[in-house]
Chains A and B, each alone.
Chain A
Amino acid sequence: MSIEAAPDRPRAEPPVAPILEVSGLSKSFPGVQALADISLSLWPGEVHALVGENGAGKSTLIKILAGVYTADAGEVRLGGQTVAIRTVHEAQQLGISVIYQEPALVPALTVAENILLGREPGTGLPGVVDRRRLVAEAQALLDRLGSPLDPLARVRDLGISWQQIVEIAKALALDARVVIMDEPTAALTLQETQHLFQIIRELKAHGRAVLFISHALEEVFEIADRVTVLRDGRLVSTSAVAALDRPTLVRLMIGRAVDESASRARPVSGAEVLRVQGLGREGILDDVSFSLHAGEVLGIAGLVGSGRTELARALFGADPIERGEILLQGTPFRPQSPAHAMAAGLGLVPEDRKREGLVEAFSTSANISLASFAAITRGRIWIDPPRERSLARRLIARLNLQPPIPGWRARELSGGNQQKVVLAKWLARDCRVLLIDEPTRGVDVGAKDEIYRLIDELAASGVAILMISSYLPEILRMSDRILVMREGRVVAEFARAEASEERLMEAATGGST
């Protein structure tokens, strides 16, 4: 389904050409087609939203336009001219400004100095900056945006919403024709969001095109003229916002036939193993309560930034807990550290295996035994190589690691096998509660299936599993119950039978609870 519509233009004017045209853009990484044949047009003065699930390809598209990635195929035209964007600086030169979630500003310098960084107005003397003109030009830009920001304020004293304004002013200073924003409202309060929208309207009035990624669908309806939906790397539709309503948008984002065939027959779960009550941490988690049973797979759905990973880390003792309590098989449990949580029978497969899961310089076997020193040593200190080897071989076989060589360097394993190594590390421990964060991110199809089977086996053997995933079909396939988190809170709970991708997405993006 593809509805192509020009933005609403109430005034009678000669037809304007699009400022940015993307056609046939494709980008693949080994094992995954991130973008396939994307075509999109942006008109000057248009606010265009880009929506889709996690992994739909939105970031990849942005990064190509920003000069971070190079597309495999396809063409980008700016102002009618075909352009090649090879570096971030080139993108900026061409008039594409990207505002990331973390501002790229110099904290010690003033607003004015940041806005005009690299383009400071000079005086007659070489290299000397004309301060007066610097401030004046910055002020002029801020006035155009209608922002009361003081050009002499130091960026390090500003909150993130003000820093975003500085970034936008910078974009204006560079005469950016296209301003791209990556989830600009993620860290803003309601009032700050409104302020930002005001600024965006000013940009519109000045004929800039704004492209922004958002997960907050109500924002899409409030500020955007058109919206493009990506799904699995493909363009599903581009349409005028006015022509859609929320349920339709959600359906476009999901659009899959729900995969019923993979629902498993699993015995009814056992006793309650973990009960969480009122878990809270300032600004991150708010009053999270749920329970987890032996042999159960509890899926945690939600968008990036909803607090799921933080929840897992808090349960594992990796992050502090400020409020609330946890009961582990009836006894109060306050994890002080990962070692403490591990002693209590917990395990955590982290979200980012490269940064937190594996020691890439180590061999497969050393990685597998990293959390099981007691099992491979005599007296907890002396490593017993035969025991380590047998542990490694056992798990390599169980997980079907390729290549099945204990000494193989972890760095040289494929993504799927690396993930299996991380899982093996925890399997070596006989955990009673296993927290898994994004079990199959960046994993090829074959390994994915093996991992699913493994999780099923674990659950069947009585392990209580908490599984965080951004991939809805996966959640639906694997979970017995599903919690949806949003903005640090649990906003919905579903039993497997009553859940659907649409309902999950609704809850995750802030629909009716």
Chain B
Amino acid sequence: MVAALRSYGLLVALVVMCLVFAALAPGFFTPGNLADMLRDLSNLGILAVGETFVIVGGGIDLSVGSVVVLAGILCDDLIRVLGWSSFLAVPLVLLICTLVGLLNGIIITRFRIPAFIVTLAGLYAIRGVALSLYRHDVTSVAGALIADPWFLVLGQGDLLGIPVSFLIFLVVFAAGVFLLRRTRFGLHVYAVGGNELAPRLSGISVDRVRLLTYTISGFCAGLSGAALASRLQTGAPEAGLGAEFDVIGAVVIGGASLLGGYGSLPGTLIGSAFVIVLAKGQSLIGVPANYQSFARGVVILVAVALDAFQQRRRLRTRVITRSLSLRGAASAELKEAGAP
């Protein structure tokens, strides 16, 4: 009930925010800007889909930003430097990123190391690997930017006026919703995050479910990274910086609880939209880039504080008695009921 209120509240806040920005910044509702925002939303949204799985399952993945960078740099290396076809390169990159997610999951479940440590370490380790693979010195025949037209469709193309990346996001989103709500696996993700005992009693392998969530997160990060690299035409290393905050912020704002077991993809979508509109709107009305980092931090803090507040309201004090509230009448009933 309160969660629904929160989602509606969020939607309302989103709409209000859009209106405010539209009023303050004339360029807000132009097709160019909208397309831009949709592309931003796709990048963040795809990441957020993966992160939602992880967070609902009770974990957290901080390495997604670095995987995005990795994907971008790998695409750059394979397509621009080595001249591979996109149809070979992109699936390979996706596979690698998925395996990275799997590795995260294995270390977390097998060695019982806290998720935030593993993924925090991953954040730096993966970025390190990615940077070491970056060939910014090599300019191929086509120059310093990726030029493969098929690849560029990913991040820059349009289909009937709608950005291709947004369409890809919609597909990923729909697939995610289906997976989370319609399959056994999805239900089990909620179970694992929501109550450790319930899935164990039912014989569900908690480790396997968690492992899969991290794998999904890796895949999504790879996809998002490839799309971003396509859009920027380069595997820019600064690309994924800070992405992990936006993603976690989006998921938490959208109603997920960091303790696990709560959350939804539609909520995440709204949360992502919230983050994107906030960022874009700020740029448009001329808020200096400096303030955006600050604002981002504050927004996440507020969202999480609200979440914590809600969690506390969810806890009930233990009710000991039945007759504390029904005194006189109850004792008479009790006597009747069979107390000799």
Contact = CB atoms under 8 A, between A and B. Distances in A.
Interface of A: 88-89, 92-93, 104-109, 113-114, 117-120, 122, 127-129, 131, 156-157, 160, 185-190, 192-193, 217-218, 221-222, 245-247, 282-284, 286, 305-307, 487-489, 510-511
Most buried by B among A114, A117, A129, A247: A117
A488 B324 contact: yes
A307 B320 contact: yes
Contacts of B183: 127-129
B184 A510 contact: no
A283 B324 contact: yes
Contacts of A113: 187
B336 to A, nearest CB: 10
A106 B201 contact: no
Contacts of A218: 334, 337-339
A239 B259 CA distance: 47
B190 A284 contact: no
A186 B261 CA distance: 27
Given A190-B334, A218-B334, 19 more contacts: A89-B200, A104-B195, A104-B198, A106-B190, A107-B194, A107-B261, A108-B194, A109-B187, A117-B204, A118-B188, A127-B183, A129-B182, A131-B182, A190-B330, A245-B340, A246-B339, A283-B320, A283-B324, A487-B320
Contacts of B263: 108
A190 B331 CA distance: 10
Nearest to B263: A108
A118 B203 contact: yes
Q: Nearest 8 A-B pairs (CB), nearest first?
A: A118-B202, A487-B321, A106-B194, A218-B339, A104-B197, A246-B340, A189-B322, A127-B183
A109 B194 contact: yes
Given A127-B184, A128-B183, A487-B324, A119 B194 contact: no
B246 to A, nearest CB: 24
8 contacts: A92-B202, A104-B198, A106-B199, A129-B184, A189-B325, A193-B322, A283-B319, A283-B324
B322 A106 contact: no
A193 B337 CA distance: 12
A93 to B, nearest CB: 7
A193 to B, nearest CB: 7
B132 interface: no
A104 B192 CA distance: 12
Nearest to A286: B324
B30 interface: no
Nearest to B204: A118
A190 B322 CA distance: 6
A185 B323 CA distance: 12
Contacts of A489: 324
A305 B338 CA distance: 22
B203 A93 contact: yes
Contact of B190 (A108, A129, A190, A307): A108
Given A119-B202, A283-B317, A487 B323 contact: yes
B258 interface: no
A209 to B, nearest CB: 19
B312 interface: no
A217 B319 CA distance: 20
A418 to B, nearest CB: 26
Instruction: Name the residue in A106, A186, A222 with the highest tally of chain B Cβ atoms < 10 Å from its Cβ.
Output: A106
Nearest to A186: B320
A89 B191 CA distance: 15
A217 B194 CA distance: 35
Contacts of B330: 190
B326 interface: yes
A113 B186 CA distance: 11
Given A113-B187, A510-B334, A284 B317 contact: yes
A189 B325 CA distance: 9
Nearest to A280: B324
Contacts of B201: 88-89, 92, 104
Q: Which of B194, B200, B201, B203 has the most CB of A within 10 A?
A: B201
B199 A118 contact: yes
A188 B322 contact: yes
